[in-house]
Amino acid sequence: MLEQLEQSVNEMLAQQFPNEKVHAKVDDRAIATLYGECSSWNTLVEVGHAAAHYPGIRNAVSEMTVKGLVIPKKDYAPFVKKGRETGVIDTADVVVVGAGIIGCAIARELCKYNLKIVVVEKEDDVSAGASKANNGCIHHGMACKPGTLKSELNIKGNRRYSDWERELNIGLKRLGYLDVITDLNDIPKLAERFYVGLLNGVDGITMVDPVRAREIEPGLAEQNIDVKAALHLPSHGFVETQYVCVALGENAVENGVKFMFNTTACGVDLKEDRISALVTDKGIIKTKFLINAAGVYADDIAKMAKDWIYTIHNRKGTIAIFDKSTPPAFRGGVAILTGLVKAGKLAESKGGGMHPTPENNLLCGPSAVEVPDKEDTETTQEGLDYIMSGCHQDPNSTKADIIKIFCGARPADFKEDFVIEPSEVTKGFIHAACTQSPAVASAPAIADRVVGFVVDAIKEEGKEVRIREDYNPYRAKPVEFRHMTREEQAELIEKDPRYGRIICRCEQVSEGEIIDAIHSPLLPGSVTAIKNRTRAGMGRCQGGFCQPRVLEIIARELGKDLTEITLTGEGSNILLQDDRPEARD
């Protein structure tokens, strides 16, 4: 049977890609490994998609090359050498690789049990990769292909965000989403989306008439948009993803989880066919359970664990943030489907949109571009053009109102679905991988699924797993001076005058808030980490005025020299030396 499947896959590839020198080998788990040379990177991705979606194929991995292109690959050898020379530094019941929203969610869900958990992250803080560079949508679930794991976990995860808000104060705003048409000829398009939403089980999805659409979204009337009909998706929400990661991480630390930042996972040790240790550049961590939530590098970790069943191809997305001086025209998410042409939109991506952030900045994007380099997060003119033509529909704002443009990397595989499962060949190894959008919305459900695998496996080994008596699922709401009434601000300043010293004028962030963040359970060590917790530096001047003061406060509170403080972790020191030491106080 496998020989026939392999032959059929190769016949399909020859027919669809007659000019490409590629072929497939299919193993006993129906994983197609692709070999040969492609004419371009986009063609390589198309070949991967074709193979992964062929009937009977579980997924596809790529050993293909591209003519005239060197595909960047990370060299882990120096990290392994350093780690093995250091030797064993810790022992844990479970190690999680990656401190994005998936890794943080898993750690927080695991910490309720009587287990020792370590999270390893190569950057200096949580939410330093794909999690910080997305649009923060808690997707309703309509955009997922019915029957996929994405669809199932998106719906479950969306619902669980209400629990996270209640327990962790993450700042969730359920402002809903409206798909609007202004031409009755587009009714079939709207009906098709409604049908998919029903298949997926989207909560509260309804078709509404023009009157109801304008009641839900007053901006439609204010902008004189000739609504013919709309699809209302009230479960759609918005978060600042980095805030969610910090909240999860802080609660996890308070419940005993250890985070190791600036630590690169570079090798996996096996004893026979099961996990025995994770090798990092800081040393070796002994463990029997390893959870792979490594984002764009999840396939590298899977290779190390001898279970390479997917290839991550980086899909870069550009996002633009607009200044608060020009507030969004709509209170929630709105897409005018009629006339909305997303030139260059990829079939495997939702292609971005337009909505307010929880802080009421207009956000547009992301775009979707396949790139061979997993570290490629450079913004381009093409990405900006896509945002303004394919996503931007706000009559109040223009390019002149943009204060920040950035790119993120979606960790997509060729199957274009989540891979959340225990390994079939390496005991104790669990995939939490290929978590592209809607991974943020799905994160609570992904964590539930992964933790279920871990708990069941530990119980099968005869170890007792129980909820800890001292487990605390709650996190106090941080002080947000900008959102307080004048009376509340005055009362707070009376108790602590540091809250009356505004450091970031654009976002009205006080010294007291920055100090709170510095001394939070999840220690931030860089200026960017403080920005991601407090918004200091996220305003119109992008830190032009407040960054020096933030740097001074970090150094003072941590007892460090100014030259030791970094922008984003190791090697990004802002100040290198004292030019005038005699001028110091």
Instruction: Judge contact between 284 and 86, C-beta under 8 A.
Output: yes
Among the listed residues 23, 49, 53, 139, the single catalytic one is 139
Q: Rounded to 5 degrees, what are φ and ψ at 469?
A: -65, -30
Residue 537 — left, alpha, or beta (φ > 0 → left; ψ -120 to 50 → alpha)? left
Instruction: Determine the Cα–Cα distance for residues 285 and 93; give it in Å rounded to an integer.
Output: 10
Reply yes or no on whether 236 is catalytic.
no
Helix (H) or strand (E) holding 154: helix 149-168
N- to C-terminal Cα distance for the chain? 78
Among 264, 571, 287, 278, residue whose Cα is nearest residue 454: 287
Question: In sequence order, what are the beta bridge partners of 432?
Answer: 420
* Alpha helices, H only, 237-336: 241-254, 298-304
Instruction: Judge contact between 284 and 83, C-beta under 8 A.
Output: yes
Alpha carbon 218 to its chain centroid, in Å, reads 31
- Residue 380 C-beta-side C-alpha neighbours within 13 Å: 13
Instruction: Determine the Cα–Cα distance for residues 62 and 22; give it in Å rounded to an integer.
Output: 10
Among 118, 120, 110, 163, residue whose Cα is nearest residue 138: 163
Residue with tokens 């003119």: 381
Among 440, 525, 450, 457, residue whose Cα is nearest residue 96: 450
Burial 74-111, CB ≥16 within 10 A → b, else e: eebeebbebbeeeeeebebbbbbbbbbbbbbbbbbbbb
Beta strands in 331-372 (DSSP E): 333-336, 353-356, 362-365, 369-370
Tokens of 493: 């300043």
Enzyme catalytic residues: 139
